[in-house]
Amino acid sequence: MIQRFGVSIDDALLKKFDNYIERKGYITRSEAIRDLIREALINESLEMENPDVFGTITVIYDHEVRGITERITHLQHSFVKEIRAAIHVHVDEKNCLEVVIVHGKAKIIKEIADRLMSMRGVKNVKFQVTKVEP
Ligand code: NI
């Protein structure tokens, strides 16, 4: 069953929200609000319940930094159960992109991403996970 509810919101915030949903390509406010609620609930559950998640960790790094390729490979071997696949793309002469596909407890996946982020030579890490069960 679908429920309807009213939301009180000031003009300025609503204007920002309408710009946001236009940028994101939503047709209706309802659709955008539903997605934001789902995202908030998933994020909360990731923090509170440490569920099983699937996800990707995307890493941009400078392969000319001494030892970085070995350190990244070593880290992946340390989490052999969680790391299901890795795709490597040579971006340009200096930079590499690696997408690591992960599966495991949310806290462990977060730890892998954190360890990649703190590595010298790693420029950017984008980390995205989702639960299999809603
Ligand atoms: Ni490369």
| CATH of residue 41 | 1.10.1220.10
Using CA atoms, how far apart are residues 57 and 17, in angstroms rounded to an integer?
29
Q: Scanning the structure block, which residue is given the tokens 């390729």?
A: 69
Residue 21 has pLDDT above 80, yes or no: yes
Residue 132 has pLDDT above 80, yes or no: no
pLDDT for residue 83? 96
Distance of CA 14 to the CA centre of its chain: 27
Asked if residue 116 is part of any domain, the answer here is yes
Same domain, 71 and 32: no
Distance 69 CA to ligand 1 centre (A): 9
Distance 83 CA to ligand 1 centre (A): 19
CA distance to 32, 34, 98, per residue, from 28 (Å): 7, 10, 36
Using CA atoms, how far apart are residues 131 and 54, in angstroms rounded to an integer?
6
Residue 95 has pLDDT above 80, yes or no: yes
Question: Order of strands across the sheet with 122-131?
Answer: 83-90, 95-105, 52-62, 122-131
Nearest to 39 by CA among 127, 106, 125, 134: 134
Using CA atoms, how far apart are residues 62 and 120, in angstroms rounded to an integer?
9
Percentage above 70 pLDDT, the chain? 99
Distance 37 CA to ligand 1 centre (A): 38
Nearest to 65 by CA among 130, 12, 120: 120
Same domain, 34 and 60: no
Same domain, 39 and 57: no
pLDDT category at 134 given cuts 50, 70, 90 is low
pLDDT for residue 115? 94
Same domain, 37 and 77: no
- Secondary structure (3-state) at 37: helix
Q: pLDDT (tens digit, 9 = 90+) per residue, 34-73?
A: 999 988 888 888 778 888 999 999 999 999 999 999 999 9
104 in Cβ contact with 82 (< 8 Å): yes
pTM of the model: 0.72
CATH number at residue 125: 3.30.70.1150
Using CA atoms, how far apart are residues 96 and 54, in angstroms rounded to an integer?
23
